[in-house]
Amino acid sequence: MFAIFQKELRSFFSSPIGYLIIGVFLVVTSLFLFVFTNDYNILDNGFASIKAFFDLAPWIFIFLIPAITMKSFAEEKKLGTMELLLTKPISISKLIFGKYLGNLVVVILSILPSILYVAAIWFLGKPFGNLDIGATLGSYLGLLFLSGSYTAIGLFCSSLTSNQIIAFISSVFLCFISYFACKGLADFDIMSSWNYGIEYFGIDYHYQSISRGVLDSRDVIYFISFAFLFLKLTHFKISNLRIH
C-alpha cells in the first residue's frame, strides 16, 4: 500500500500540471479574498475573520479535487497498467486506500499555504491577534473531512472510465450534487416539515456544523460513512475488472 501511496504522489508532482493545479487554487483564493470586490473579500468585511476562506474553499474544491483525482485509475486504464496492478500481490482494498491517501495528501498540501491567510488576519486584527482560534481550527478540520469526501468521489469516478476528462466532469457533478443539492431542496421549502431531514443528508450541513468549532460525533460519522460509501463503490468497480 505504501508503494502505491508513493507512486501516486510521484505521478502528481512529476509534471508541472500538479504544481499548476495547486498554484491556481492559491491564486484564485487570494484574488477572491484580498483583491476582487465581492462578499468573500476579507479586507472589505471590516473585521478579523477567516470565515470567508472556508466558505469559498468548498466551491473551489469542487473543481480542484476532481482535477487531482481524475488520473488515479483513468490513466492506469488508458496506459494499460491497470491489468498489471491487479496481478500484483496486493489486495484491491490496499490499492484503493493507497491511491486515496496519496490524493488526499496532495489536497492537504494545497491547503497548508492557506495558513498565511490566518497569519495575515492575526497581524491585521485590532487588537493584535483578534481571531477566533477555536472556530478556525474547527473550520480546518471540516475542510479536511470535506476533502476526504470529495477525494472518495473523485476516485470512484476515475475508476469508471479511461478518459480523464469524463472522470473530471462526472466527479465535479457528483461533488456539486453532494454539497449543494440537499440544501438547495431545503431552501425551496418543497417538503415543509421534512426540509431539515433533507438538508441533513447534504455535505454542506455537516461542514458548516464542524466549522462552528463544535466537534459533533454525528458529523464525524457522516463524513467517514460518506467517504467509505464511495470507496466501497470503487472497490466494487475494480473488483469487476479483476474478474473480467
pLDDT at 98 over 70: yes
Give residue 244's pLDDT band: very low, low, confident or very high (50, 70, 90): low
| Unique residue bearing C-alpha cell 478518459 | 163
Give residue 144's pLDDT band: very low, low, confident or very high (50, 70, 90): very high
| Unique residue bearing C-alpha cell 421534512 | 194
| pLDDT at res. 63 | 94
Least confident window among 70-79, 85-94, 118-127: 118-127
| pLDDT at res. 208 | 87
| pLDDT at res. 242 | 63
Provide the 8-state DSSP code for 63. Answer: H
Per-residue pLDDT reduced to its tens digit, 211-220: 877 788 889 9
| Cell numbers describing residue 111 | 491547503
pLDDT at 224 over 60: yes
> Residue 40 and residue 60: Cα distance in Å, rounded?
13
For residues 9 and 100, the answer to whether their CB atoms sit within 8 Å is: no
Give residue 8's pLDDT band: very low, low, confident or very high (50, 70, 90): confident
Q: Which residue has the higher pLDDT, 103 or 82?
A: 103
| pLDDT at res. 64 | 93
> Residue 155 and residue 233: Cα distance in Å, rounded?
10
How many helical (H) and strand (E) elements, i.e. helices and strands, does the chain have? 14, 0
DSSP 86-125: HHSSS-HHHHHHHHHHHHHHHHHHHHGGGHHHHHHHHHHS
pLDDT at 174 over 90: yes
150 C-beta neighbours (distance < 10 Å), count = 31
Mean pLDDT of 41-61: 81
pLDDT at 163 over 60: yes
pLDDT > 70: what percent of the chain?
88
pLDDT at 140 over 80: yes
Q: Which residue has the higher pLDDT, 104 or 130?
A: 104
Q: Which residue has the higher pLDDT, 74 or 37?
A: 74
pLDDT at 81 over 70: yes
Q: Which of 161, 8, 149, 177 is nearest to 65 (CA)?
A: 149
pTM for the full predicted model:
0.90
For residues 178 and 232, the answer to whether their CB atoms sit within 8 Å is: no
- Those residues whose C-beta lies under 8 Å from the C-beta of residue 137, and which sit 6 or more positions away, are 213
126 Rama sector, left if φ>0, alpha if ψ -120 to 50, beta otherwise: beta
Q: What are the C-alpha distances in Å from 119 to residues 38, 81, 128, 199, 242?
A: 21, 44, 11, 34, 49
| Unique residue bearing C-alpha cell 500500500 | 1
For the ranges 122-131, 145-154, 191-200, the one whose mean pLDDT is highest? 145-154
